[in-house]
Structures are given as C-alpha cells and as structure tokens.
Amino acid sequence: MSSEHSVVLVTGGSRGIGRGIALHLAREGWNVALNFSQNIEKAEEVKKKVIEAGRQCLTLQGDVGSSQARRSILEGIHRGFGRLDLFISNAGIAPRVRNDLLETTEESFDEVLSTNLRGPFFLAQSAARWMLKQKQDQPELIPRMIFITSISSYVASVNRGEYCISKAGLSMTAQLFAARLAADGIPVFEVRPGIIQTDMTAKVASRYDSLIAGGLVPQRRWGTPEDVAHAVAAIARGDLDYSTGQVIEVGGGFGLRSL
C-alpha cells in the first residue's frame, strides 16, 4: 500500500461522528486508517466509500482501551502506510445503563473511562512519539492531533456521570498534549460536539427533540456528523495551525449565554 497522500487515523471510525470524519477527509484527499471495535460490516462499508472517493483505507479492529490493541493499531498503520500525519481520537462509548450518580457502579466507571480516556491518552502518547520521530527525519512535516470530546466535558448529566468525567478528562488531555507539543511544531486541538444525530443519541432522540425545539440549541436543529467533519477538515488543512490548544465547539450555539 503506497503512502502517496497524507494519512489520518480515525478511532471509532465505523459509525457516527467518526464515520462522517473519515468520509469527509477521504473526499479531501486523505488516506484513512480506520479503527473500529466490533462492527466489521460497518467498517467495511466505510472502507468501500473511502476507496470510491479515490483514496486508500486500512481497517484496524481493536478496542483502544486495550494496550495490545493500541500497539496493533499503530503497527498496522506503520506497515500499511509508513506514516501518520493526523491523529483523531474519536472512539467513545456511553454507559451501558444510565444510572443516577448515586448508583453508578465501579464496573461501568472503569469500562467507560478505559475506552473514553485512559485508552485515548496512551494511544495519543504513542502517536505523538511517532510524529516527533517523523519530524526528526522530515522537519518540514506538520503532523496534527485532534481530540473529539463533547459538551458533556462541562455539562453535568447526573445519570451518566462516568461519561461526563471521561470527556472532561479528555478535554484536559487535549490541553496537555497541545502544551507539550507546541514547541515541536505539532498543533493539537479539541473539537467539542454538541447534540449530534448519531446512533448513540438515537435512544434519547425524543427528549432531545423537545429540548431543541424549546431553545436549548439556539440554531434550533440537531448537529450532524458532517458538521463536526467540517471543523476537523479545517484543522486537517492547516487553516488553524497558529491556534494550537484551542477548543472548537460544534454545538449550534449551545454554549452561548444571553438574557
């Protein structure tokens, strides 16, 4: 497999926001390393569409919460493409059961934080080391990192506290990597989606429909994976390179305060 074009790793890329990002970047000329955990069929669908867009695609199965899987993911990219230009940490899960904060179990807490925070942190660490090595060999390269978080990083939902904590931690992870890598010429960003129409939010769609209609989102509509992908694409193109460490909220104005 050639590495004629720049390579992006999208974790959790078989569905939802990750899928939207992978397909959008493929249309912009990126070869895609697509990580997924379980749904092989959905991953193969995305791969087919990436190839139809004229780009190459590797599908890399593995739970980012597993250290062995993380090694396998990066080794697969090294073998298949030989380079990594853009790291996108998108993989994430919701709690299996939305329990009240006082009923949250250690098992649920550990499972969510393993996939949403611990795994992404250490995968980013390994990816950053690789990117630094690439820059030693080719100083003109500008690798980039993006962490896909959530408005749940600052909005309290007491029936899924472990999810909120994981996203708040991932938000700080983005800040830490931005601070550590700034002098090395590796820009790092946080993209913070709001209420996005995906299979993860489908279970509570009617509730969000009512909240959006009531003005919770000033733009009065759901967000889409494509909305998030547009923000990611601007970073990927290098349009925001002198803004490392910034948070881009894709939430339809959710964070606005008005009287």
Q: Which amino acids are annotated catalytic?
A: 163
Whether the CB-CB separation of 224 and 250 falls below 8 Å is answered with no
CA distance 215 to 111: 34
The neighbour count for residue 123, using CB atoms within 10 Å, is: 25
Whether the CB-CB separation of 185 and 142 falls below 8 Å is answered with yes
CA distance 140 to 163: 38
What value does the CA radius of gyration of the chain take, rounded to a whole number of Å? 18
CA distance 208 to 239: 33
The set of residues, in sequence order, having a beta carbon less than 8 Å from that of 187 and lying 6+ positions away, is: 142, 144, 145, 178, 181, 235, 240, 241, 243, 244
Per-residue b/e over 159-184, b at no fewer than 16 CB within 10 Å?
ebbbbbbbbbbbbebbeebbeebeee
CA distance 155 to 168: 9
